[in-house]
């Protein structure tokens, strides 16, 4: 399938036109896995290229001193190049690093964290910790597939967005998915095409865990025949079916004897979490378990210590902390997820954990939170937690564990903590999203005022 760039167009002061084909020799890699070279004296980033390669690329962005392109044709190949496992890799906007060896991907992500911390904060951790590693493929237990009716061809398109485009890549495989979900992906497009209401579908979400599920978002009502077809598809793959309409609430169509709720486990903590479609949960179960284990080790909360868990979601970190004996306060912006976290604590018989709803983009105003905490854990979205980390520092919290999905905002926030007297004790990356350029990291900050076990200051 060829990407359509349309007519090449030049933006103001740009050296190249959008869609123009340019030839570049690449000499190094960027931290996000793009090949870097020069074209007409300008630094050029080529997605899909490797050092030592000569390529032609299609320009996707152009500024006066910088060009971004996507590989169009490989003229001279690097011996480091590997064949992508997915046949959609050259056009899909998701897994852009499949041509790079897995160990090299992890090294790039570690370099990205190093560079961002140095660039934005001018700091280096006292200890670089080994990366947390997981499977290169077959790891993703949650995905959302776009569904779009193509009026020109009279066909339903099912897939992911193309890179640098709103067009869809129609897929019937996705090897980063767990096997049960990839098996469903192979059959899903044809099944959706058969629905009478196929022109009125929104998207389909596939979810793994204890009770794998397919969530079908439909704009127009589904009649009994359409529902029956979807139930048959779900039954063949031994998953649950959820239907979500425009005006009706989410409703559940359950197979005989199947669980009636979405859930996942942290086996090493013997904890079970329920959640609803739309709730945030980690997509990589293997890495989530490793991440929670590492967070417990690094934060090292003692029984009876008060710990603040910010952006707590359904309790992914709160409950393991409480199980270690800490007194945990979880805070989340979404009131529905606060309810879910509370239920999860009750179901796991944990009483020393309480959850509250608050806007975490603003300073705390809830009087319930105005108490002394010995430690805090935060797992913010990509925007980071600029206001929040300053507030934590003002509270004099001794240990702050920061879980990040964006090294740039982690570095910015690390600079704030450093200016308040915190040391970046240790940091490292976690291989949460193999084959993609997304970087997940963990960093531990310790206040210069925190005392060690002998009662003396560590500063």
Structure confidence at residue 188 (pLDDT): 96
Give the model confidence (pLDDT) of 295-345 as tens digits.
Answer: 999 999 999 999 999 999 999 999 999 999 999 999 999 999 999 999 999
pTM for this prediction: 0.90
Domain 142-262 is in which class?
mainly beta
* 76/55 Cα distance (integer angstroms): 7
Query: What DSSP element (H or E) covers 36?
Result: strand 35-39
Q: Which residues pair with 68 in a beta bridge?
A: 45, 61
- 432-451 burial, b at 16+ Cβ within 10 Å, e below that, comes to bbbbbbbbbbbbbbbbeebe
Catalytic residue among 92, 95, 312, 405: 405
Is 92 among the residues known to form the active site?
A: no
Assign 3-state DSSP to the chain and report helix, strand, coil percentages, each to 5.
25, 30, 45
Residue tagged 């608050």 (tokens)? 358
Q: Which residues pair with 61 in a beta bridge?
A: 68
SS3 assignment, position 342: helix
Give the model confidence (pLDDT) of 401-429 as tens digits.
Answer: 999 999 999 999 999 999 999 999 999 99
Which tokens hold the place of 322?
Answer: 């409480």
**Contact at 8 Å (CB) between 84 and 33?**
no
Which tokens hold the place of 442?
Answer: 């963990």
Answer yes or no: CATH 3.40.50.720 is held by domain 107-135+286-447. no
Do the domains spanning 9-81 and 107-135+286-447 agree at the CATH topology level? no
**Contact at 8 Å (CB) between 248 and 313?**
no
Q: Fold for domain 9-81?
A: OB fold (Dihydrolipoamide Acetyltransferase, E2P) (2.40.50)
Classify strands 306-310 and 375-378 as parallel, antiparallel or unpaired: parallel
Distance between start and end Cα atoms, the chain: 59
Residue 310 neighbours by CB distance under 10 Å: 26
Which residue ranges make up each domain of the chain?
Answer: 9-81, 107-135+286-447, 142-262
> Is the confidence at residue 73, as pLDDT, over 50?
yes
């Amino acid at each position: 399938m060829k990407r359509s760039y349309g007519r090449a167009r030049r933006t103001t002061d740009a050296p190249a036109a959008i869609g123009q084909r340019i030839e570049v020799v690449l000499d190094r890699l960027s931290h996000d896995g793009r090949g870097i070279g020069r074209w007409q004296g300008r630094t050029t980033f080529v997605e899909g290229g490797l050092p030592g390669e000569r390529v032609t690329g299609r320009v996707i962005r152009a500024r006066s001193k910088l060009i971004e392109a996507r590989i169009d044709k490989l003229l001279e190949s690097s011996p480091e190049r590997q064949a992508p496992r997915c046949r959609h890799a050259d056009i899909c906007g998701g897994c852009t690093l499949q041509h790079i060896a897995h160990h090299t991907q992890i090294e790039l992500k570690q370099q990205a964290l190093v560079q961002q911390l140095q660039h934005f904060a001018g700091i280096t951790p006292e200890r670089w910790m080994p990366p947390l590693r997981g499977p290169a493929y077959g790891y993703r237990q949650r995905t959302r597939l776009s569904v779009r009716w193509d009026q020109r061809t009279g066909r339903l398109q099912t897939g992911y967005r193309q890179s640098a485009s709103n067009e869809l890549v129609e897929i019937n495989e996705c090897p980063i998915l767990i096997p049960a979900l990839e098996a469903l992906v192979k059959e899903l497009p044809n099944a959706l095409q058969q629905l009478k209401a196929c022109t009125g579908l929104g998207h389909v979400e596939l979810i793994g865990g204890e009770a794998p599920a397919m969530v079908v978002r439909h704009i127009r009502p589904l009649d009994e025949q359409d529902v029956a077809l979807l139930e048959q598809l779900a039954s063949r793959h031994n998953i649950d079916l959820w239907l979500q309409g425009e005006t009706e609430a989410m409703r559940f169509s359950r197979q005989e004897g199947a669980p009636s709720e979405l859930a996942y486990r942290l086996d090493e903590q013997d904890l079970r979490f329920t959640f609803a479609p739309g709730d945030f949960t980690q997509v990589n179960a293997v890495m989530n378990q490793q991440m929670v284990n590492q967070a417990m080790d690094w934060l090292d909360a003692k029984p009876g210590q008060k710990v603040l868990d910010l952006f707590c979601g359904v309790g992914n970190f709160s409950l393991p902390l409480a199980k270690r004996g800490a007194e945990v306060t979880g805070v989340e912006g979404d009131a529905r997820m606060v309810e879910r976290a509370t239920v999860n604590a009750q179901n796991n018989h944990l009483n020393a954990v309480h959850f509250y709803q608050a806007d975490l983009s603003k300073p705390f105003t809830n009087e319930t939170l105005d108490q002394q905490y010995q430690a805090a854990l935060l797992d913010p979205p990509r925007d980071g937690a600029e206001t929040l980390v300053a507030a934590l520092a003002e509270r004099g919290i001794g240990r702050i564990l920061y879980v990040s999905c964006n090294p740039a905002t982690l570095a910015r926030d690390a600079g704030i903590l450093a200016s308040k007297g915190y040391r970046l004790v240790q940091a490292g990356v976690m291989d949460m999203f193999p084959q993609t350029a997304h970087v997940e990291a963990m960093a531990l900050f310790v206040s210069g005022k925190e005392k060690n076990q002998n009662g003396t200051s560590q500063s």
